[in-house]
Structure 1
Amino acid sequence: MKEWNRTSVEEFILLGITDLPQLQVFLFITFLMFYLFCFVGNLSIVAVVIVERSLHTPMYFFLGNLSFLDFFYASTTVPKMLAGLLMEDKVISFRGCIAQLHVFHFLGSTEAMLLTSMSYDRYVAICNPLRYHVLMSKATCIQLASACWFIGYFYSLTHTILTSRLPFCRMNRVTHFYCDIKPLLRLACTDTSLNESLVSIVSGFVALATFFFIVISYLFIGTHILNIRSSQGRQKAISTCTSHFTVVLLYYGTAFCTYLRPATLDSLEQDRMTAILFTVITPAMNPFIYALRNIDVKTALQKFFFGERFLKNYFIQL
């Protein structure tokens, strides 16, 4: 961080999503709605997981962590993007840019590890239910979640330090709507091959390793489900995994497309469009993916917002 005085660039200009005025108002309203959904949905899940005792289980402990993370993940980039669309406020200070880069990758890598922990939780619940409460004790869950946040922080810190030490003495126009590693590397006036290799190798290792463990978990889960004779039991096992598997596909599909290919000008343009999915849309959709397919979450949300009397009347009508 002491190397900041080496750069002649004191601020960056985020080019945003589009320069077309006729699209900016439409995109502002659209992305604002998604951000509000993200705000209400994720914080509602965090609240019910804390308040509702029936959700004090390992599965919902990790879901609460994921929702908490998703809200701040979106908040790292979306408010600045909205300001750029509405007020043309596209300037960000050098320190602010580096801080945004660090928080974004910190939360993004933590999410990958949380999704891996959640897949292990589902594996134990389905394949080894008799030992579930022993293997997924409260202490174990806290340790797993803490490890996810801890490793994510130091993974991001590596990229942050290396990027902050680069000299930026040419253009300061970032081809993105937030500060990310690849667009910043193209602006540095020095050889960035080491940084580019680290992005591919380290990010690739984290993404592939966590995805590998998730795939292995689901292979064991799938094998176990095929051996369940009861169709009702098989359906119940599948329903507990569908939401998580959907979120995994959304997350890793966009992550692989963005960080495992070289930073050409064309790829940066594609990354800018792809980033909308995992910074705006996915964090807003995750609460609905989990809530709409999970009766416990739906019941807890209804109880939280409408009270127990509403639930009693609701079930009486059914």
Structure 2
Amino acid sequence: MNSNLTVMKSFFLLGFPGLSPKYYRPVSALLFFFYLAIAVGNIFILTFVVCEKSLQKPTYLLFCHLALNDLTFGTLTLPKIISKYWFGDGFISFHGCFTQMFVVHYLGSVTSFMLLAMALDRFIAICFPLRYPVLVTNNTITVLCGFAWFIPLPLMLTIVLHTLTLPFCKSNVIAQCYCDHISITSQACGENINIVLVTALCIAMLCLLVPLAFILFSYIFICVVILKMSNATGRMRTFSTCTSQIFITCLFYLPRCFVYVSNTVGFSFSLDVRILIVLLYSLLPAAVNPIIYCFRTQYIKQHLIKKIKTSRFGIQLNLSFL
């Protein structure tokens, strides 16, 4: 048994190492408003779809699952780094850090499988439109989302439990705004560290690249079908039904691919820039996705405008009787 395992009582979140103390409050305020954007936007999507019966269709149920995922991710990562810069509390317990690491990688993997389900939804809707009402129902989407939530669970637990077997004999400083696998294992030592890193990398690639391969295949096939349409208006209308999913998928995958490719070709970032990039590609989609749902999805936008107009009419009507 590794006696060093009990030495590390807590970790310290470094955040942005080059940040001057005079900017701590403004940064904490910015992160707080960023979290508010995530919370308000995603809670709005969940509430709007749940309350609006006409929106309880497969595509919008997928949006709800993704919104729940984004809301959970922001809630379990941002408050700690906000408290670091607002109250000077940068310490997180040993097991709390591992819990946060599990949540970060688990929810990221769930998002990947959710995007796969969204691509499958559009693939069937555009390539097999006559079979869509039969193949894609609310029950089908519920099952697919259930798999998306369940499949990464044992995989991420494997990563966490495997990492817990390492002795931690280096610094307790986490060079990141939240606990992740790379930051934690960089403080570990022992003969098995390479095995832990390779295992985690293989699982991460499985959760990212397998869904991405299917997503690329789906959208390539969709583009082929759309280009074969003779009616230009029909092509644009059909393509517009999947633009929101394409935007969301690009926001999730492109920054990650950029970081992985940059590391592979030997292009290095400063520590502050690397932390900022990781924070942005982790949290920016969670804040932007609700805007994409509302303004890139015609059905939601139309219902939202209708609700606003109805509310204004109701207010005007009440005022006329005063």
With structure 1 as the length reference, what TM-score do the two structures score? 0.90
Cα distance in 1, alignment partners of residues 217 and 83 from structure 2? 42
* Secondary structure at 2:12 match in 1: strand
Shift of 1:107: 0.8
Cα distance in 1, alignment partners of residues 115 and 3 from structure 2? 35
Match of 1:316 in 2: none
1:299 aligns with 2:302: yes
Cα distance in 2, alignment partners of residues 50 and 9 from structure 1? 45
Residue-pair matches, total: 310
Q: Which amino acid aligns with 2:195?
A: L
Paired residues of 2:4 and 2:168 also in contact (CA < 8 A): no
Match of 1:235 in 2: 236
Match of 2:165 in 1: 165
Deviation string for 1:95-139 (max 9, x for gaps)?
100110111111110000000100010111111111111111222
1:273 aligns with 2:306: no
Q: Select between 184-193 and 5-14 the one with higher mean Cα deviation.
A: 5-14
Match of 1:24 in 2: 24
Q: Which amino acid aligns with 1:123?
A: F
CA distance 1:255–1:64, change in 2 (3 Å): same
CA distance 1:284–1:28, change in 2 (3 Å): same
Q: Select between 191-200 and 170-179 the one with higher mean Cα deviation.
A: 191-200
Match of 2:310 in 1: 308
CA distance 1:100–1:165, change in 2 (3 Å): same
Match of 1:10 in 2: 9
Shift of 1:12: 0.4
Match of 1:96 in 2: 96
Cα distance in 2, alignment partners of residues 258 and 155 from structure 1? 23
* Secondary structure at 1:92 match in 2: strand
Cα distance in 2, alignment partners of residues 44 and 5 from structure 1? 46
Shift of 1:31: 1.9
Shift of 1:201: 1.7
Provide the aligned C-alpha RMSD in A. Answer: 2.5
5 Å-filtered alignment, 1:71-86, equals 71-86=71-86
Cα distance in 1, alignment partners of residues 313 and 216 from structure 2? 38
Match of 1:36 in 2: 36
Shift of 1:239: 1.2
Shift of 1:274: 1.6
Paired residues of 2:12 and 2:173 also in contact (CA < 8 A): yes
CA distance 1:11–1:129, change in 2 (3 Å): same
The share of aligned pairs that are identical, in percent, is 31
Cα distance in 2, alignment partners of residues 81 and 301 from structure 1? 34
* Secondary structure at 2:190 match in 1: coil
Deviation string for 1:22-46 (max 9, x for gaps)?
3322222222222111111111111
Shift of 1:248: 1.0
* Secondary structure at 2:171 match in 1: coil
Match of 2:319 in 1: none
Shift of 1:90: 0.5
Cα distance in 2, alignment partners of residues 181 and 232 from structure 1? 48
Cα distance in 1, alignment partners of residues 11 and 246 from structure 2? 38
Structure 2 unaligned segments of length 5 or more: list them. 316-322
Shift of 1:76: 1.7
Structure 1 unaligned segments of length 5 or more: list them. 314-318
Cα distance in 1, alignment partners of residues 260 and 97 from structure 2? 19
